[in-house]
Each structure stands twice: as C-alpha cells, then as structure tokens.
Amino acid sequence: MGFWQEKSLEQMNREEWESLCDGCGKCCLHKLEDDETGEIHYTNVACRFLDGDTIKCGKYLTRQRYVGNCVVMSVDLLDQLPWMPSTCAYRLLYEGKDLPDWHPLVAGNPNAIHAAGHSVKGRVIDEREAGDFEDHLVEWPA
C-alpha cells in the first residue's frame, strides 16, 4: 500500500507531497476564464520556464520570484483551484479518489504518464511565441 493510501494530505511530509505531482505539466499552462460564465478554457501555451520536452520547470524552486501568479500547491489551496486537471493527484486525493495506474508512484516509472498520453510533453508552445492565447485553446485528455 502506498503512503498516499495510508496518510491524509495533511500528514504527508514535504518529500511525499512533492512526489504526488505526476509531472503532467498542465498546471504550467495558461488558462483563460470566461468572464460571463466562469468557465475555464485550457490552452497549450506553456509558461516560459516549462521545458516542453522534459516537462520540468527551469525555475521550480524560485518560480514565484519570476512568475508572481505561479501557484505553490498546498492543502489549503486545493478547494480554491477549479482549473486543476481532473487527473491531478492532489485533486484526486483531495476528492477521496485513488491515483490512476499510469501515475509514476503507482507505475514505478516517471515516464508512465507520458506513455499514457496524460502529459503535455511535446504538445505545448512557449508563451513568448504563442501570440493570442485564444488561438491555442485545447481539450486535454481528462
């Protein structure tokens, strides 16, 4: 049984908490919110610090210094982030669900998420090259 099945999110240490991230990269993409409906629209436009091939942040530890609205995930924020992907491990566990088979902690392979097609690897454009974000709306696999 994995630690995520034995502990609550609040009980996890920093290493366990960080390992929950499946590395999909979806949280590093720009989202657009419809002012009238509040509906969130996803784009394939990545933060300039996301490497589209490795899906790693080039400034992870200091990202908020460079990107003021970059979210540092915490238990306290989970109910305030409606834009988090439905497959996000933090969201799944917060909602009382288990991790999918392709999650790196379950599969024992950090590349399982990419092989399963649940990451943005190779499918994003840098925000500095994108132009109008509305031209880059996408629907990622759930």
The residue written with tokens 């899906």 in the block is 55
Inter-residue contact 24 to 104 (CB < 8 Å): no
- Tell me, what's the pLDDT at 134? 95
Six-digit token pair at 71?
A: 């979210």
pLDDT along the chain (142 residues), means of 10: 94 95 93 91 94 90 82 86 87 95 96 93 95 92 54
Calculate the CA 15 to chain-centre distance: 17
Q: What is the CA radius of gyration of the chain?
A: 15
Q: What is the pLDDT of residue 122?
A: 92
What is the reported pTM?
Answer: 0.87
Strands 40-46, 137-138: pairing kind: antiparallel
Task: Using DSSP, state whether 92 is helix, strand or coil.
Answer: helix
